[in-house]
Amino acid sequence: MSSSHPLFRPTRWLPGGHLQTLFSPLFRSKPELARQRERITLEDGDFIDLDWYGPQGEQTRCAILLHGLTGSSSSLYILGQQRALAARGWQSVAVNWRGCSGEPNHRARGYHSGASEDLADIVKQLMARYPSKPLVAVGYSLGGNVLLKYLGETGSQCPLRAAVAVSVPFRLDHCADRISQGFSKVYQARFLRALRHYVESKQHAFRQQGRTDELARLMSLETLEGMKTFWDFDGRVTAPLHGFASADEYYQRSSSAYFVSAIQVPTLIVHAEDDPFIYPHSVPKAAALPDCVALELFPSGGHVGFIEGSLWRPRYYLEHRLPTWLDAQVPHAAPTYNAQAIAL
């Protein structure tokens, strides 16, 4: 871990990974940003919605932000990071994975932890439109897994200048086991309810829209009743919809742990040992990572938590550390965007 930046110091009033994980989604005020939404068409004819924020310009640095499972561009960690980046002169574009922008997507397939082809499509379109714009990416949880997989797949051909991945489920099979234990079952139950609603809302939409072929694919799935674990959902839904023979094959082919060794662009990984979704032994050892990949592994921080400061003035470490690190990778001398200062 580099000593050239302030270390994360978890606040004393949120001891343990669960409290660090839960505080922001339960108690943080939603940052209000005036964003511009854009819909792009993917190669298979489906769509993804993007939410833009910050300064504009052909050469303005731009960060692609990737949310986690059952999240969206309106997730608080995404909004907070967009505001923080704008204050440093960065433009950002928050991706809504398929069906996550408030409207069901048009295909039976959805998004998943290995959907790097969708990220590749997005990056390709942005590079074609803005060939002079320096692009980086920041991924959280599922989004971080997709990002690391993409970086490994593209290797020396990756068009991104830098990348950051936070709270990554490096081994999806390990994560499916870990989240079914202890208090983490609470998160699992919430995720499974949201994922079931995701599928059922598409079934309803496809009936209304007359998308009979796509509806037939969804209706051919095994029952959504009685699913208690991620192994159940991914075996019944994720795998058959996305070309995997089983949940196990999906996990093996999509886990970013098998791709990180091929990364060739500057990459920062931020992780906490007390992440309630991920076993500590699932995290790659720093010595096994390429020289261009830095791992900042903290004893505490939870899952996309990393909260410092006092009860009355919480400080979101990721919204300071990530822009600082990205500034060092892609320097820019232009004036900073006149955005509302981020909360300290």
CB 156: neighbour CB atoms within 10 A? Answer: 8
3-class DSSP assignment, residue 96: strand
The residues that bridge with 115 in the sheet, in sequence order, are none
Q: Scanning the structure block, which residue is given the tokens 């006149």? A: 338
Catalytic residue among 112, 174, 271, 303: 303
**Do the Cβ atoms of 94 and 73 come closer than 8 Å?**
yes
What is the Cβ-side half-sphere exposure of residue 56, based on CA atoms within 13 angstroms? 4
Q: Is 3 a catalytic residue?
A: no
Catalytic residue among 275, 282, 300, 320: 275
Q: Is 275 a catalytic residue?
A: yes
CB 309: neighbour CB atoms within 10 A? Answer: 17
Catalytic residue among 72, 141, 254, 255: 141
Separation between Cα atoms, residue 93 and residue 38, nearest integer Å? 10
**Tokens linked to 320:** 């300071």
The one-letter amino acid code at 76 reads L
Which ranges of 38-99 would DSSP assign to H, the alpha helix? 76-87
338 burial level (CB within 10 Å; 0-12, 13-18, 19+): exposed
Separation between Cα atoms, residue 183 and residue 200, nearest integer Å? 27
Q: Is 327 a catalytic residue?
A: no
Known catalytic residues are: 141, 275, 303
